[in-house]
C-alpha cells in the first residue's frame, strides 16, 4: 500500500514538472529554474554518466555470462542473477542522476522535456536523443525482470535482447554528445567495453549455432 502511494505521488510530481516545462515552452507562463554557480552540476553529470556506462557494460556482460555459462566456475548462477539485476538498477539510477544534474548546468540550459523526450533538446540533438531512447529502453528491460512470470519466457527473452540496443545507443550517445569523447581514457573505456561485449556476444552466437549432441537411443 505504501509503495503504491509513493509511486503515485512520484508520478504526480513528474507529471506536474512536465506540465510546467511544457507550459514554459509554449510561453503560457515563466518557469525559472535555479541553477547553481560554478561547474559542479556539469562535473556531477559527467561522473554519473561515466559510472552509468560502466554499470551498463557490466550489466550486459553479466547477462552474457548467464547465457553462455562463461562465469559459472567462479560465480554461482544465482549470485550472477542477483548481480545482473543490481547492475541494471544501478545503471538506471546513475542515468537518472546524470539527467537531473544536467538540469542544473548553466552552460547548456536543459529543462525536463529536454532530458525525457528524445530528439527535443537543442544541444547535440541526435546524440542526446539516442541517450534518452537508450534510457527508456533500459527502463523497459529492467521492468521485465519483475514481469517475467506474466509475459512468459519468449517475450521476456525478446525484451531482454533490447539490452544490446541500449548498449549500442548509450555508446553512440557518449561518443557523439559526451564532452570527454576525445580523452584517451574515455576512448580506452569505449574500446574495452565494446570489445568485451562484442567478444562475448560472438561466443553466445557460436553456442546457439553449434549443433546439439543427439541423445542415444
Mean pLDDT for 102-123 is 89
Residue 29: what pLDDT?
Answer: 67
Same domain for 80 and 128: yes
* Residue 162 pLDDT exceeds 80: yes
pLDDT digits (tens, 9 = 90+) for 77-94: 889 999 999 999 999 999
Same domain for 9 and 88: no
Closest CA to 135 of 115, 120, 151, 159: 115
Residue 99: what pLDDT?
Answer: 94
Q: Where is average pLDDT lowest: 14-28, 51-65, 150-164? A: 14-28
Domain assignment of residue 121, yes or no: yes
For 110, the domain range is 38-209
Domain assignment of residue 20, yes or no: yes
Mean pLDDT for 55-70 is 93
Q: What is the DSSP string of the chain?
A: -HHHHHHHHHHHHHHHHHHHHHHHHTTSS--PPP--SSSHHHHHHHHHHHHHHHHHHHHHHHHHHHHHTTTTTTS-HHHHHHHHHHHHHHHHHHHHHHHHHHTT-SSS---TTTTTSTT--SSSHHHHHHHHHHHHHHHHHHHHHHHHHHHHHHHHHHHHTHHHHHHHHHHHHHHHH-TTTTSHHHHHHHHHHHHHHHHHHHHHHHHHHSPPPPPP-
* Burial per residue of 168-198, b for 16 or more beta-carbon CB atoms within 10 angstroms, e otherwise: ebbbebbeebbeeeeeeebeebbeebeeebe
Same domain for 182 and 100: yes
* Residue 6 pLDDT exceeds 70: no
Domain assignment of residue 214, yes or no: no
Same domain for 186 and 104: yes
Residue 23: what pLDDT?
Answer: 79
Same domain for 96 and 22: no
Same domain for 115 and 17: no
Q: Total structural domains in the chain? A: 2
Same domain for 79 and 21: no
pLDDT digits (tens, 9 = 90+) for 24-39: 777 676 666 677 777 8
Residue 213: what pLDDT?
Answer: 61
> pTM, whole model, 2 decimals?
0.89
Domain assignment of residue 215, yes or no: no
Same domain for 110 and 14: no
Same domain for 17 and 56: no
- Dist CA 67 CA 215 (whole Å): 22
Same domain for 56 and 12: no
The confidence band for 75, taking pLDDT boundaries of 50, 70 and 90, is confident
Same domain for 50 and 26: no
Residue 46: what pLDDT?
Answer: 94
Which residue carries 539516442 as its cell?
Answer: 130
Domain assignment of residue 182, yes or no: yes
Domain assignment of residue 193, yes or no: yes
Same domain for 169 and 75: yes
Average pLDDT taken over every residue of the chain: 88
Mean pLDDT for 122-138 is 96
Q: What is the DSSP string of 136-172?
A: HHHHHHHHHHHHHHHHHHHHHHHHHTHHHHHHHHHHH
Residue 44: what pLDDT?
Answer: 94
- Dist CA 37 CA 72 (whole Å): 50
Amino acid at each position: 500500500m505504501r509503495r503504491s502511494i509513493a509511486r503515485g505521488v512520484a508520478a504526480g510530481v513528474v507529471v506536474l514538472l512536465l506540465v510546467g516545462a511544457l507550459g514554459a515552452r509554449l510561453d503560457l507562463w515563466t518557469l525559472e529554474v535555479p541553477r547553481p554557480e560554478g561547474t559542479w552540476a556539469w562535473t556531477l553529470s559527467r561522473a554519473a554518466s561515466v559510472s552509468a556506462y560502466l554499470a551498463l557494460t557490466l550489466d550486459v556482460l553479466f547477462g552474457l555470462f548467464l547465457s553462455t555459462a562463461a562465469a559459472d566456475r567462479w560465480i554461482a548462477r544465482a549470485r550472477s542473477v542477483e548481480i545482473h539485476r543490481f547492475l541494471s538498477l544501478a545503471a538506471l539510477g546513475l542515468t537518472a542522476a546524470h539527467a537531473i544534474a544536467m538540469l542544473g548546468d548553466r552552460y547548456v540550459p536543459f529543462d525536463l522535456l529536454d532530458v525525457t523526450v528524445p530528439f527535443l533538446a537543442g544541444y547535440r540533438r541526435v546524440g542526446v536523443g539516442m541517450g534518452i531512447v537508450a534510457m527508456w529502453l533500459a527502463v523497459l528491460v529492467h521492468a521485465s525482470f519483475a514481469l517475467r512470470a506474466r509475459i512468459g519466457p519468449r517475450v521476456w527473452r525478446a525484451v531482454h535482447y533490447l539490452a544490446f540496443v541500449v548498449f549500442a545507443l548509450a555508446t553512440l550517445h557518449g561518443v557523439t554528445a559526451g564532452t570527454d569523447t576525445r580523452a584517451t581514457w574515455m576512448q580506452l573505456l569505449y574500446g574495452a567495453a565494446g570489445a568485451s561485449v562484442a567478444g562475448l556476444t560472438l561466443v553466445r552466437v557460436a553456442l546457439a549455432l553449434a549443433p546439439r549432441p543427439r541423445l542415444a537411443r
